[in-house]
Amino acid sequence: MKRKTALFFVCLLALGNFVLAQKKKIGTETPEQKKKRMEWWTDSRFGMFIHWGLYAMPARHEWVKHNESLTDAQYQPYFDLFNPDNFDPKLWAKQAKAAGMKYAVLTSKHHEGFCLFDSKYTDYKAVNTPAKRDLIKEFVNAFRAEGIRVGFYYSLIDWHHPQFPIDRLHPSRPKPESDSAYDRMNQHRDMAAYRQYMRNQITELLTNYGKIDILWLDFSYPGKRGKGRDDWGSVELLKMIRKLQPGIIVDNRLNLEEYEDGQDFETPEQVKVEELAKYHGKYWETCQTFSGSWGYHRDENSWKSTQELLRLLIGSVSNGGNLLLNVGPTARGEFDQRAQNALANIGKWMHGNSRAIYNCTYAPAAFKTPENTMLTYHPASNRLYVHLLEYRKSLVLPGYKGKVKYAQFLHDNSELRIAKQEGEDVVLNLPAQKPDVEIPVVELVLQ
Ligand code: GLC
The predicted-structure confidence for 433-443, as pLDDT tens digits, reads as follows 999 999 999 99
Tell which one of 270, 285, 294, 324 to mutate to probe ligand 1, the residue whose CB is within 8 A of the most ligand atoms.
294
Rounded to whole angstroms, the Cα distance separating 115 from 109 reads 5
Whether residue 101 lies inside any domain: the answer is yes
Same-domain status, 437 and 292: no
Same-domain status, 278 and 423: no
Among protein residues, the one with the nearest Cα to ligand 1's atom 5 is 218
Same-domain status, 419 and 341: no
> Quick one: what percent of the chain has pLDDT higher than 90?
94
Enter the DSSP assignment of 154: E
Same-domain status, 41 and 163: yes
218 Cα–ligand 1 center, Å: 7
pLDDT given for residue 12 in this prediction: 57
Select from 295, 326, 356 the last residue of a domain.
356
Whether residue 25 lies inside any domain: the answer is no
CATH number for the domain including 100?
3.20.20.80
Beta strands at 322-327 and 373-378: parallel, antiparallel or unpaired = unpaired
- Before 176, cis peptide (omega within 30)? yes
Whether residue 301 lies inside any domain: the answer is yes
190 Cα–ligand 1 center, Å: 25
Q: Which atom of ligand 1 is nearest to the CA of 267?
A: 12
pLDDT given for residue 4 in this prediction: 65
The predicted-structure confidence for 347-405, as pLDDT tens digits, reads as follows 999 999 999 999 999 999 999 999 999 999 999 999 999 999 999 999 999 999 999 99
Same-domain status, 280 and 422: no
- pTM for the model stands at 0.95
Tell which one of 62, 154, 218 to mutate to probe ligand 1, the residue whose CB is within 8 A of the most ligand atoms.
218
Q: Which atom of ligand 1 is nearest to the CA of 153?
A: 10
Pocket of ligand 1 (CB under 6 A): 51, 62-63, 218-219, 269, 287, 294
92 Cα–ligand 1 center, Å: 21
| Number of domains comprising the chain | 2
Rounded to whole angstroms, the Cα distance separating 195 from 232 reads 6
pLDDT given for residue 22 in this prediction: 76
Rounded to whole angstroms, the Cα distance separating 203 from 218 reads 16
- Domain containing 247 equals 30-356
Q: Which atom of ligand 1 is nearest to the CA of 287?
A: 12
Tell which one of 219, 253, 265, 286 to mutate to probe ligand 1, the residue whose CB is within 8 A of the most ligand atoms.
219
pLDDT given for residue 1 in this prediction: 47
The predicted-structure confidence for 52-96, as pLDDT tens digits, reads as follows 999 999 999 999 999 999 999 999 999 999 999 999 999 999 999
Strand partners, 386: 375, 442
Instruction: Give pLDDT < 50 ranges for the chain.
Output: 1
For residue 269, count CB atoms less than 10 angstroms from its CB and return exposed for 0-12, middle for 13-18, buried for 19 or more.
middle
